[in-house]
Chain A
């Protein structure tokens, strides 16, 4: 019964979405408000129907109804409640429905929250967001239906279909296959949803950009309407990337967190253009410049979102994420081509109207440095895009498949990121329009001296690696420059208002959330960069086979293999082989670790998962895994040990980044008041209601 409800509601959701797009565009054609109202209501209906379908699937997963192919593929009887909920996005069909649900929620929220202020944009915003939603819903209904069921005909053949074929009866499997062991990680509970939220969130600014192009209202209105949406989407995309890194670090067992895998790159690409967009819209807001560039950026960001989804789900670029491959690649490619066509047509139609209202007054101005920053982000996007897709082009052009591994990305992207950090340190010190040389030198002095001091301290402590010293210096400069901004503000408040420094600092956040929240994001990124430099340049590893009682030594640590424990897990879901090792530093016991190997057993065989065990300190991680392909036993077990300096800084930097973004997006009452006042006086667009 639930499956039928799911099939009916997802189909109704698709029909409502198609109707919403048609009604929204019809409202423009006929200039009748009632069609737009009808479209808005259809958006709500569509989302409610998707919600019903999603709930139906969730209940089927929790109930372990193995008459559904999707439930059979992603869960088993041994899975606990958390894993069954996670299964909602643990497979292709479910994740597409989940993606659609988030898209519907974002679209509805964007329409309702901007309904009064930006009514003129609404037909196009609905057309774009719900058009995208309709496309993904059609994939769910026609290609990857999570409500496909097993049927058996009189000859005993098993048929999979959403609707019952003639002369068949329902068939339920006894148990499911269970989720891919690699996905059974706490990070997987929230990694896909956050990534989807990031992807979907970026569709909203794109929709408003298209609306601006279609209506010809090329003022910064569309940017003001979507700045918060863009920042929220960026937050989720950042969080999704960080959680993905953490998952890779904890689950994939290779001692790293980022391998420049095509799927990782697919999420990084819209993050790069989205970050550039967040900076460049400030210039349009402040100076009326870069209008064309902002349009191009948001269009590219949207296309990268669709391309990323297409390339990872079609299997066109192979990767460790290839479990998501399916035949939906063709329709996605068509959708991508149509989206490119429409966006470019609209853009070129308005090209001449997108002239800048101002020119740069000086190269030493914040906007000039933001432009250079944007060019660097564009460079990073091109380089990463090329590195990701070059194997396809190579195969097409020469017939030879190639690999684009970390050496390519590190040698091209590394210097670009370095210059980007330099700009991150410089730009906040510069004023809009023009900065005098005297002011610039004065502002540069303290961060530069502190950064040089940092390099000297690191050098004295024994680090001689030139790239590391340069990297720490540049990143340190960006960090000190940001801290100097806080310091200046707190001191000024202390002097002018007598506020204690800490209170003055807190009031800075209250006074200008966007700016000081943004600086906190910068600090988070700086800390992440320290972690990346430390863990990538100074990583050490060793692999040795030890018998119980033997030990290995790596850079001041001694690891003793005490013995093995093994047996079935209490829930019977897996066979666990766990090693007991003790870690000593300077003769002192610092940790007892348990690297293990889980062998999941399902009707089709066994799947392995090697889980590392980690001793973490501020200075770095002692990371040990069992080498799963070697024999494991008390008489001899092969261990691989990694020392990852500063790696924990990446996760803590991520936390600071999230806090900074939340501060920056937190609603500002003063701004809301100004907006309400403008609305009341008819300045905010209500006069343009269709």
Chain B
């Protein structure tokens, strides 16, 4: 009988401790987190001022950005993640709120050109190198075996002297 009471008391104690722990964790997640300036800046750095274009939110002194930073602080205290907060501002200010657009069409527009240019440049380069090596295997391959800096007499002499003296 005593054992039963002890077991029940132990279960109650464990449940209480677990409950308190879960409660504390919940409270932390739910709204009582301590948010530092660095936390706010971590998010603000990824956003851009809606008025002064190209100025990140963490270093902008306009009224709109001061308000936005206060809002970010509140959102962090409410337990929102960085991504969720950024999504809120993109929704409100449009794609200009972030360093590169998140919308798939705009994102494609932004990245497609430089990537296409790089692919074309690499393809052109490979093609050129291939055609040069093709030409080289033809009679031109017998081009005089030029040693380093042949057309630079001074350098050639230097290197010859190094060889002779070493």
Chain A interface (Cβ < 8 Å from any Cβ of B): 253-254, 259-262, 286, 318-320, 359-363, 368, 371-372, 375, 378-379, 382-383, 386-387, 390-391, 393-394, 397-398, 400-408, 412, 416, 430-436, 439, 488-489, 491-493, 495-496, 511-512, 541-545, 608, 628-629, 638
Q: Using Cβ atoms and an 8 Å threshold, which residues of chain B touch A434?
A: 143, 145-146
B65 to chain A, nearest CB (A): 8
Residue B12 at the chain A interface, CB threshold 8 Å: no
Task: Assess the B149–A432 pair: CB atoms within 8 A.
Answer: yes
Shortest Cβ distance from B99 into A: residue: A405
Shortest Cβ distance from A489 into B: residue: B158
Residue B20 at the chain A interface, CB threshold 8 Å: no
B8 to chain A, nearest CB (A): 50
CA distance A63 to B98 in the complex (A): 47
Task: Assess the B161–A492 pair: CB atoms within 8 A.
Answer: yes
Per-position binary interface string of chain B over residues 32-68, scored 1 when its CB falls under 8 Å from any chain A CB and 0 otherwise:
0000111001000000100011111001010000100
Task: Assess the A629–B99 pair: CB atoms within 8 A.
Answer: no
Task: Assess the B161–A408 pair: CB atoms within 8 A.
Answer: no
Shortest Cβ distance from A384 into B: residue: B114
> What are 16 A-B pairs with beta-carbon distances under 8 A?
A318-B53, A319-B53, A319-B54, A362-B132, A383-B114, A390-B110, A400-B103, A404-B99, A405-B56, A408-B99, A436-B145, A493-B158, A512-B154, A542-B37, A543-B37, A543-B41
Among B103, B105, B109, B145, the one with the most A-chain Cβ atoms within 10 Å of its Cβ is: B109
Q: Using Cβ atoms and an 8 Å threshold, which residues of chain B touch A253?
A: 59
Task: Assess the B146–A359 pair: CB atoms within 8 A.
Answer: no
Q: Using Cβ atoms and an 8 Å threshold, which residues of chain A touch B152?
A: 432
Q: For chain B, give the interface size range.
A: 35 or more
Q: How many A-B residue pairs have CB under 8 A?
A: 163
Top 10 A-B pairs, shortest CB-CB distance: A405-B99, A431-B148, A543-B37, A492-B158, A254-B59, A318-B53, A383-B114, A496-B161, A629-B61, A433-B146
Task: Assess the B94–A608 pair: CB atoms within 8 A.
Answer: no
CA distance A375 to B118 in the complex (A): 9
Task: Assess the B129–A363 pair: CB atoms within 8 A.
Answer: yes
Shortest Cβ distance from A429 into B: residue: B148
CA distance A375 to B125 in the complex (A): 8
Residue B113 at the chain A interface, CB threshold 8 Å: yes
Task: From B98, B117, B124, give the contact of A382 (CB < 8 A).
Answer: B117
- Given A401-B95, A407-B99, A434-B143 in contact, is the A262-B54 Cβ separation under 8 Å? yes
Per-position binary interface string of chain B over residues 97-131, scored 1 when its CB falls under 8 Å from any chain A CB and 0 otherwise:
11111010110011001100110010011001100
12 further interface pairs, Cβ-Cβ under 8 Å (given A318-B53, A403-B48): A359-B135, A361-B143, A363-B133, A375-B124, A379-B114, A383-B114, A402-B106, A403-B96, A492-B159, A542-B38, A544-B38, A629-B61
CA distance A16 to B163 in the complex (A): 62
Q: Using Cβ atoms and an 8 Å threshold, which residues of chain A touch B18?
A: none
